[in-house]
Structure 1
Amino acid sequence: MLSRISLIPGLSRCQGLRGQCMSGITRCYASNPKENSWLRSLFVRKVDPRKDAHSTLLSKRETSGLYKIQFHNVKPECLDAYNKLTEEVLPKLHQDPDYPCDLVGNWNTWYGEQDQAVHLWRFSGGYPALMDCMNKLKNNKEYLAFREERSRMLLSRRNQLLLEFSFWNEPTPRKGPNIYELRTYRLKPGTMIEWGNNWARAIKHRQENQEAVGGFFSQIGELYVVHHLWAYKDLQSREETRKAAWTKRGWDENVYYTVPLVRNMESRVMIPLKISPLQ
């Protein structure tokens, strides 16, 4: 049996009792009531106390970067108008040096949910920067007009606040042309640290071709959600890169241990908008 070493501090491991001892323990429990507290401790899983939340253990401590990802489902007949409006207004907002938010990437979904726009922002000052940004937008007439016009083009929208995994690449602007894949994993509650442990070892197998753009996990919105963002030249390059990972020792082990942690997963292949820093 393979033994796994925890790479992230604070991860405790529990071991259960084996079935062959159960009958004897049950008889002892019944005949010795005074031993109840000792026997009860055998049946109760105890978790070592931890002073840090998993968000602190997994995220980059040297920065206070907070990310927002936004999904807009656009009326099919409005997608071109939506893209044009977005490309006109968003760059103006982000040229303002007092606007504490960086545009990371903007895309339309190519394969996956159709007529969808995906936007990713970074708030370098964490939650204070997010609140500062929100307060300034409330008084920005151009933004309010943009939001009102945009709302008439949408079927639905949702967002999440994310943190970066400490072992992933920092998403930085890159030249194109590229396609991007956003792989979304919805994990079983309580498994985020185990996911991080395995990917901290495995990410090296997917960085040789610079395809690893960024890795994030949710803080507000739908919880226990992981987003991995990859870049490829085209779909054929994606296929070849993913196949090559299986030839590297350790990649199969990562897949073996992480698949049981996943409740469901989704893949989007996306095309960047003209204004996207990730091209």
Structure 2
Amino acid sequence: MTAPVVFRTVDIALADGTADAYFAHPDDGAQHPGLLLYPDAFGLRPWLREIVETIASGGFAVLSPNIFYRSGRAPVLPMPDFDLPDAHSAFFEALAPLRAALTPDKAMQDAQGYLDWLAADAAVTPGPLAAAGYCMGGRLALRTAATLGDRIGAAASFHGGFLAADDRPDSPHHDAAGITAELFIAHADQDSSMPADQIAGLERALDAADVRYTSVVYPAAAHGFTMRDTPAYSEEAYHRHLRDLLGLLHRRFDAE
């Protein structure tokens, strides 16, 4: 069941500046569970707005921030023209210093600010919040759950990469012991950033920490399968991700 939503762009005051963000919630005057939705590396753009509004129509108050706000308002970089042979690599080369500036400590400092803003909004139900994300945003969502503990009641990652990379300090498996949320993690079966050995390593870390989680591999899916404005998009996987995410959120929050 879906509902009409209210959408607006908001500014969030943080320690290092002001982050612009998308925010949407059902247009019914009621409070709804809050979700911090991290975008992929391409950032806020029309397709992310559509995702935010779609999830909000399922009964949630959804905040999606410009995680690279230190470098400017969204779009910090324009979407690449995927018809050009070097566009994808050129985009990520330009993005490299922005990603480097978003250190693990800075990212979690920002996460606290995003959650504080979300919790204070009149459209958001008091209590634990949720976090979810795509690609690098999936990694941020799991790290938010690991770092902020009981503030996060549910967290999800979709085609997140390097989730169990021993040589990366931002790999969430390092801090799995801090996770009290229920997790849903969807991998792509054609994703070099999350091969089978890392999936197994992540599951071992979550098992050792006694975390409640579901870990699945979507078949015939590439890294980035939720993103309709990229060549990786899969219509089937996108709709499956919506069912899985909303299922997690309703399972966790409907009883409260």
Q: Flag the structure with more relative contact order, 1 or 2, with Cα contacts below 8 A and sequence separation at least 6.
A: 1
For Structure 1 versus Structure 2, the TM-score category normalised by the shorter chain is under 0.3
- Tell me the TM-score normalized by structure 2: 0.22
TM-score where L is the length of structure 1:
0.21
